């Protein structure tokens, strides 16, 4: 770049675009940098909006906005999410939970050690039992109890995630983005510097132009700038993540039951069904492979499983993979325009938030003039981040299922070498912090703690290896047993104090 970024132009007014406007606007303000931000969105192209799950990192966004969680949940009709319930993945009839809290943070000096998980596996106990969120999830409980005066008090120290209605969150973010110019226009092309190749201005379909210094492509699956203009390239994950269609539909809540506090991921004949509760409904969808199922068959399968008709809201085609170089010259792709994996572990909005945090922290610094080398480093790190998501999701497909052509295809053709490599290493030692490089400046990423419930639930952890490791340190094994027993008691008591999920949400 030849000068500091003074005008940041974001193309796309979905969740990614507004997150970028808010978070980078804050970065500029924090550095007292005078930055004009324009969001260009087209009212003729809708945003993607299905019921969606976040990860715990979304609280960082609320903190950025200075928004109280109660206001966010009330205004967006969001709910609490403690993790994911995986049904029928290992084999039909087997369910396991993946709570997202990490009990090791309560143990002084644990420092990346997974000794409580190792102990659980050695003792033949499900690792999910070591989690407060496992208790709260089972009871559909809120994370709050009441003190003597009726005031809400948290029952535990862990940060949970949310289930959201993406359209409502988009409106919410937009309302909080003060001082941002908004242009309703369709970007049809760019004017590029003849020597630099950098974008000088956007060309709209009505012939008008808009100049800027740095451009963020948040145009979703269209990838208007990074794909069509800047040749960011594409790395497909279609071989190892074979689902490529999504058929969203809604269901009503069962008024006799509390609102669930987990995402349900229900493995089906040719993919899996998500169920994500907002306050008003269950946002659901069948993500499937059209190589094995037509959309009529997908619909029929779900209607038969549920025992009643559904009204599909769309049948979305998904290109699964990532842009090879999300940052090219003065253009950065974020959100769906940077890539997309099936929504199994809610990696998309999480990835966007972490990418924004990394970009803001490491590259948007005074004098706000990132060098070309910065783009290379960023691309390498973010490419790795999304590859790690791929491997984590791919691991969910290492199952005993072989009851349909889809599952036999997955077993025979879709397990990525990196997944195989990790599993081979974990037949030798139990997963541990050192198995995961930390290259995202400490921002949250897929690590051992997230893998444990999934590996355990799929039967991929070897109890003999865990026993060998615990036997090597009797003192640690004794400590682990005491801590696990004590945490189990504490968590059961904490869950006993928690009020119901619906009661909490309606009290906001
Ligand atoms: C089936 C499905 C399920 C998902 N589930 C989850 C989940 O559980 N958890 C999760 O974290 N994520 C999930 N996601 C991903 C999540 O929806 C996205 O990460 C998030 O909504 C951000 O989308 P976006 O802003 O990148 O794109 P979009 O919402 O598609 O917004 C694109 C914007 O670009 C604008 N635009 C496009 N082209 C142009 C143009 N030429 N000119 C001007 N404007 C243009 C549009 O008007 C729109 O404003 C899911 C996605 C799908 C498809």
One DSSP character per residue, 181-194 reads EEEE--EEEEEE-T
Residue 485 CA from chain centroid, whole number: 31
**Pocket of ligand 1, candidates 13, 14, 334: which has the most ligand atoms within 8 Å of its Cβ, to mutate?**
14
Q: For residues 145 and 147, give the distance between their C-alpha atoms in angstroms, rounded to a whole number.
A: 7
Residue 482: predicted pLDDT: 94
**Residues sharing a CB contact under 8 Å with residue 199, sequence separation 6 or more, in sequence order:** 190, 191, 192, 193, 212, 215, 225, 229, 230, 329, 330, 331
End-to-end CA distance of the chain: 47
Q: Is 224 in the pocket of ligand 1 (CB under 6 A)?
A: yes
Element at 219 (helix H, strand E): none
Q: Is 285 in the pocket of ligand 1 (CB under 6 A)?
A: yes
Residue 375: closest CA among 240, 179, 189, 214: 214
**Token pair for 86:** 């995986």
CA max distance for the chain: 74
Residue 50: predicted pLDDT: 80
Helices (H), 307-358: 347-358
Residue 100: predicted pLDDT: 96
Q: What is the DSSP letter of 361?
A: I
507 alpha carbon – ligand 1 mean position (Å): 31
Walk across the sheet containing 199-204 and list its strands.
Answer: 187-192, 199-204, 209-211
The atom of ligand 1 lying closest to the CA of 351 is 11
Helices and strands of the chain, counted as H and E runs: 15, 24
Q: Is 412 exposed, middle or buried (0-12, 13-18, 19+ CB in 10 A)?
A: exposed
Ramachandran angles phi, psi of 53, nearest 5°: -110, 145
The atom of ligand 1 lying closest to the CA of 285 is 1
Residue 64: predicted pLDDT: 84
485 alpha carbon – ligand 1 mean position (Å): 44
Ramachandran angles phi, psi of 259, nearest 5°: -75, 125
336 alpha carbon – ligand 1 mean position (Å): 5
Residue 336: predicted pLDDT: 96
**Pocket of ligand 1, candidates 336, 393, 446: which has the most ligand atoms within 8 Å of its Cβ, to mutate?**
336
Q: For residues 312 and 293, give the distance between their C-alpha atoms in angstroms, rounded to a whole number.
A: 15
340 alpha carbon – ligand 1 mean position (Å): 10
Residue 1: predicted pLDDT: 67
Q: Is 320 in the pocket of ligand 1 (CB under 6 A)?
A: no
Q: Is 349 in the pocket of ligand 1 (CB under 6 A)?
A: yes
pLDDT tens track, the chain, 508 positions: 678 999 999 999 999 999 999 999 999 999 999 999 999 999 999 888 787 899 999 988 998 889 999 999 999 999 999 999 999 999 999 999 999 999 998 887 766 789 999 999 999 999 988 999 999 999 999 999 999 999 999 999 999 999 999 889 999 999 998 899 999 999 999 999 999 999 999 999 999 999 999 999 999 999 999 999 999 999 999 999 999 999 999 999 999 999 999 999 999 999 999 999 999 999 999 999 999 999 999 999 999 999 999 999 999 999 999 999 999 999 999 999 999 999 999 999 999 999 999 999 999 988 899 888 899 999 999 999 999 999 999 999 999 999 999 999 999 999 999 999 999 999 999 999 999 999 999 999 999 999 999 999 999 999 999 999 999 989 889 999 999 999 999 999 999 999 999 999 999 9
280 alpha carbon – ligand 1 mean position (Å): 22
Q: Is 173 in the pocket of ligand 1 (CB under 6 A)?
A: no
Element at 79 (helix H, strand E): strand 79-81
Q: For residues 73 and 469, give the distance between their C-alpha atoms in angstroms, rounded to a whole number.
A: 44
337 alpha carbon – ligand 1 mean position (Å): 8
374 alpha carbon – ligand 1 mean position (Å): 26
3-state secondary structure 442-480: CCCCCCHHHHHHHHHHCCCCCHHHHHHHHHCCHHHHHHH
136 alpha carbon – ligand 1 mean position (Å): 31
The atom of ligand 1 lying closest to the CA of 224 is 41
Q: For residues 279 and 165, give the distance between their C-alpha atoms in angstroms, rounded to a whole number.
A: 9
């Amino acid at each position: 770049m030849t000068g500091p970024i003074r005008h940041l132009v974001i193309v796309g007014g979905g969740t990614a675009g507004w997150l970028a406007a808010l978070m980078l606007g804050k970065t500029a303000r924090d550095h007292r940098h005078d930055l004009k931000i324009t969001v260009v969105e087209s009212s003729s192209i809708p945003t993607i909006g299905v019921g969606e799950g976040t990860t715990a990192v979304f609280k960082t966004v609320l903190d950025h906005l200075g928004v109280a969680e109660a206001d966010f949940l009330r205004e967006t009709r969001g709910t609490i999410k403690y993790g994911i319930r995986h049904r029928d993945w290992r084999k039909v009839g087997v369910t396991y939970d993946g709570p997202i809290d990490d009990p090791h943070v309560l143990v002084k000096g644990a420092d990346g050690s997974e000794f409580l998980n190792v102990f659980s596996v050695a003792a033949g106990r499900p690792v999910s039992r070591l989690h407060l969120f496992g208790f709260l999830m089972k009871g559909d409980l809120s994370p709050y109890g009441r003190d003597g005066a009726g005031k809400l008090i948290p029952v535990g120290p862990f940060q949970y995630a949310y289930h959201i209605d993406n359209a409502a969150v988009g409106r919410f973010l937009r309302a909080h983005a003060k001082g941002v110019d908004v242009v309703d226009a369709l970007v049809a092309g760019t004017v590029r510097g003849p020597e630099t190749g950098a974008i000088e201005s956007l060309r709209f379909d009505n012939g008008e132009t808009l100049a800027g210094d740095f451009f963020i492509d948040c145009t979703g699956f269209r990838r208007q700038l990074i794909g069509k203009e800047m040749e960011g390239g594409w790395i497909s994950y279609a071989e190892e993540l074979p689902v490529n269609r999504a058929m969203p539909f809604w269901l009503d809540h069962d008024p006799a039951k509390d609102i669930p506090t987990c995402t349900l991921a229900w493995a089906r004949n040719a993919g899996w069904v998500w169920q994500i509760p907002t306050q008003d409904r269950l946002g659901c969808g069948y993500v499937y492979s059209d190589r094995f199922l037509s959309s009529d068959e997908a619909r029929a399968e779900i209607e038969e499983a549920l025992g009643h008709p559904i009204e599909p809201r769309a049948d979305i085609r998904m290109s699964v993979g990532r842009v090879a170089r999300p940052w090219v010259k003065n253009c950065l792709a974020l959100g769906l325009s940077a890539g997309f994996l099936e929504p199994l572990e809610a990696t998309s909005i999480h990835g966007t938030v972490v990418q924004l945090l990394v970009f803001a922290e490491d590259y948007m610094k005074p004098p706000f003039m990132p060098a070309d080398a910065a783009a290379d480093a960023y691309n390498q790190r973010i490419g790795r981040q999304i590859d790690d998501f791929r491997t984590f999701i791919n691991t969910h497909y290492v199952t005993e299922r072989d009851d349909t052509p889809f599952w036999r295809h997955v077993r025979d053709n879709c397990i990525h070498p990196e997944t195989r490599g990790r599993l081979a290493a974990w037949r030798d030692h139990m997963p541990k912090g050192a198995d995961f490089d930390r290259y995202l400046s400490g921002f949250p990423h897929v690590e051992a703690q997230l893998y444990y419930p999934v590996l355990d639930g799929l039967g991929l952890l070897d109890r003999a290896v865990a026993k060998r490791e615990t036997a090597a340190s009797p003192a640690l094994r004794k400590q682990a047993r005491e801590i696990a027993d004590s945490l189990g008691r504490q968590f059961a008591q904490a869950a006993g104090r928690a009020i119901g999920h619906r009661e909490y949400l309606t009290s906001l």
